[in-house]
Amino acid sequence: MKSTNEKHHDSVDTSVFGSDEMLRVSPKNEIPKNPMPQDIAYQIVHDEAMLDGNARLNMATFVTTWMDEGARQIMIESMDKNMIDKSEYPQTAEIERKCVNIMAKLWNSPEKPYCTGASTVGSSEACMLGGLAALFRWKAKRRAEGKSTDKPNFIISSAYQVVWEKFAHYWELEMREVPISFDKPCMQADDVVKLCDENTFLVVPIQGVTHTGMNDDVEGINNALDELNMKTKWDIPIHVDAATGGFILPFLQPERKWDFRLKWVLSISTSGHKFGLVYPGLGWVIWKDKKYLPDNMVFNVNYLGSEVGTTAINFSRPGNYVLAQYYQFIRLGFKGYKEIQSNVMETKNYLSGQIKHLGFTLLNEETPNPLFCWYMKDDKKRKWTLYDLSDVMRQDGWQIPAYSLPKNMEDVVVMRIVVRQGTGIDLADRLIDDMKRHIQELDNRKEPSDTWLIMNKSQKVKDRGFSHNR
Ligand SMILES: Cc1ncc(COP(=O)(O)O)c(C=O)c1O
């Protein structure tokens, strides 16, 4: 029996916040026994998520945090479409094909009339697919030559994103790293060639290195591999991880050769959800030609009504992200993308100038992507670290990661800002004002901070709070 004074929400008089549910702890570990009204369930989930950081103030993420109303509308009305059901949703499949063609042409694919590629959940899946295709091609070639396929390796900068570590781990591959340094912040041809041998199935230059915002020298690496491949007949190809740069270079540096114009670039991946300007959940992988996508990576799915080839690791996936990408392509056009990417670069240049004025040192004076890092030179008077600054900036809602650089430079602690659409000069000024105030407070503290004490006892401080791999 319900007590007489219990407030039943199904009575029209009881508001959400007047209901009994508001006095209960929301379910943590077990599914509740009974249903609850829709508006109360909504409020509980909404309010808990409200405590997350504000996505627009998240200067750590590369991922899109703003789309216009038209895009949101398309996403909402098509979020029930499963990308894999290509025979049920043939137009969504067709739009995916249009996007593949558009992407491939942005990267100067020579393939006609249709280009070869696929949408994915993000760059991670796209990198895996590009890497796997190269591995299978290498294995097929080695088998045809009667040679062993036991010890495949690939070459990448030590500033790789964690997906490449996963790739090596899942498929038991050797990952050969070219260490970055102050002198060589990007992977260069001479260091790559030194690491190549007959078991090298792939070289992976990055356009938009996650940790630094720099671009590896794809053209130089391509030319060096061309020479090496001619001499050895190893045919070592390139997959470009252009998670960030794939949507920056075509608009801002169209003359720079990093893409399918280069002989040994056989596949490229990017994140539609980064500078492709779509909310998180979308990546792309494109091959230079159908012949570089091994047949054993195209699976014919026939239980959904007809035989359709798919190339993906995941099966079911929302189709609305692909529709949103197409919306962005036709809404913005080349000009619109160029304007947005130019604005984020200008804001990035403005912000990095302001950060320098605050007394910090930029890791790289110029970055070709809309992100930059800075560090602090030793100063005997200062008793705090960038980890502290990162912590205190959170008090104002700003999420700015501090982390140590990869192997070979692990003693250097940097802070990083990624500028995305939605961060203009005005917001940048607010950030700098807040930072100035917090720096003053840190300078005025009487006691050294915990992280300063740890670092000055030369113990490593673990990266805290943020993942720098986003
Ligand atoms: C260079 C690079 N590769 C791959 C990835 C993984 O991308 P995603 O988050 O789209 O899976 C990232 C993410 O930041 C990246 O910067």
**Distance (Å, whole) CA 409 – CA 338:** 34
Residue at which a domain ends, from 328, 361, 391: 328
Specify whether 311 is located in the same domain as 345.
no
Residue ending a domain, choose from 264, 297, 328: 328
pLDDT attached to residue 462: 47
Number of domains in the chain: 3
Instruction: Judge whether residue 212 has pLDDT over 80.
Output: yes
Has residue 464 got a pLDDT over 50? Answer: no
Rounded Cα gap, residues 238 and 354, in angstroms: 37
Distances in Å between the Cα of 459 and the Cα atoms of 304, 407, 452, 456 are 57, 16, 10, 7
At 454, the pLDDT band (50, 70, 90 cuts) reads confident
Mark whether 323 and 426 lie in a shared domain.
no
Q: What is the mean predicted confidence (pLDDT) over 102-126? A: 95
Whether ligand 1 lies within 6 angstroms of the CB of 191 is answered as no
Three-state DSSP string of 241-273: ECCCHHHCHHHHCCCCCCCCCCCCEEEEEEECC
Ligand 1 pocket test: pick from 162, 271, 468, 470 the residue with the most ligand atoms within 8 Å of its Cβ.
271
Task: Note whether residue 470 is domain-resident.
Answer: no
- Asked, as a colleague might, if the bond just before 113 is cis with ω within 30 of 0, I would say yes
Query: What local confidence, expressed as pLDDT, does residue 303 receive?
Result: 56
Residues 198 and 298 in one domain: yes
**Is residue 241 lining ligand 1, measured as CB closer than 6 Å?**
yes
Digit-coded pLDDT (tens) for 79-96: 999 888 888 888 998 999
| Cβ pair 73, 323 in contact under 8 A | no
Query: Would you state the pLDDT for residue 6?
Result: 53
Residue 243 lies in a domain: yes
For 237-294, the pLDDT digits (tens) are 999 999 999 999 999 999 999 999 999 999 999 999 999 999 999 999 999 999 999 9
What is the span of the domain harbouring residue 448?
338-456
In a domain, 61, yes or no: no
Which comes out higher in pLDDT, residue 291 or 466?
291
The DSSP call for residue 351 is: H
Which residue's CA lies nearest to atom 14 of ligand 1?
A: 470
pLDDT digits 0-9 by tens, 371-409: 999 999 988 889 999 999 999 999 999 999 999 998 888
Please give the backbone phi and psi of residue 265, each rounded to the nearest 5 degrees, phi first.
-80, 105
Measured from the CB, is residue 210 less than 6 Å from ligand 1?
yes
For residues 293 and 348, membership in a common domain is answered with no
From 161, 204, 240, the mutation candidate for ligand 1 (largest count of ligand atoms within 8 A of CB) is 161
* Ligand 1 center from residue 241 Cα (angstroms): 8
Pocket lining: 61 vs ligand 1, CB cutoff 6 Å: no
CA of 162 to the centre of ligand 1 (A): 8
Residues 302 and 391 in one domain: no
Ligand 1 near 283 CB (within 6 A) = yes
Whether the CB of 470 sits within 6 Å of ligand 1: yes
* Confidence band for 1, pLDDT divided at 50, 70 and 90: very low
Atom of ligand 1 nearest to the CA of 122: 10
Which of 380 and 215 is assigned the larger pLDDT? 215
Atom of ligand 1 nearest to the CA of 469: 14
34 compared with 152, residue with greater pLDDT = 152
Q: Is 371 in the pocket of ligand 1 (CB under 6 A)?
A: no
Residue 58 included in any domain: no
Predicted confidence (pLDDT) at residue 469 exceeds the cutoff of 60: no
How far apart (Å, rounded) are the C-alpha atoms in residues 89 and 98?
15
